[in-house]
Structure 1
Amino acid sequence: MSKESRMRATINQKLTEMGERERLKEILRARLTECGWKDQMKAHCKEVIKEKGLEHITVDDLVVEITPKGRALVPDSVKKDLLHRIRAFLAQHAS
């Protein structure tokens, strides 16, 4: 396992153990809803299903199809805010 992978695992573990991961997920959900991301993704899902046909697409196929656009549509301000919150948490709980 690379040094970066070990660091990510450690950070993820600390966030999870202290309940911060769930809190950050709730903040992210709220921010994505506020900025209209959720509505954009819902509309994109409907387009993909209409294009492919409901009988010809699985949930897994849909996830693969919409993930790139979903990631691209997350506003930079939301990404920066989340990163800032993670850094602040880690600085506060550094051991």
Structure 2
Amino acid sequence: MMSIIFDLMDTTLSESSEKKPGSRAGRPNYPRELRDRLAAAACEPGVSVARLARESGINANMLYTWRRRASSGPTRNSGAVMVRIRRLSSTM
């Protein structure tokens, strides 16, 4: 269980000087793989989210948000579709 944390210990975050289309200026865009790995590590029993965030070089509130989103279930890109159900009147 703790191996995921040890894998993250050697991860170094760096800002790319390359400007990507649609990127938000002034805010880092972390790779999804990193967000998912940190969120999974933050869900491990006995892990301090604040310590994990500090050791990873990110804001603790951001890691709490990633953890909440990871545990909330399907995301916008999950393919889920809203369906409206209408009750038919019985005229028999």
Q: TM-score, normalised by structure 2?
A: 0.23
Q: Which has the larger radius of gyration?
A: 2
Tell me which protein shows more helix as a share of its residues. Answer: 1
Could you tell me the TM-score, scaled by structure 1's length? 0.23
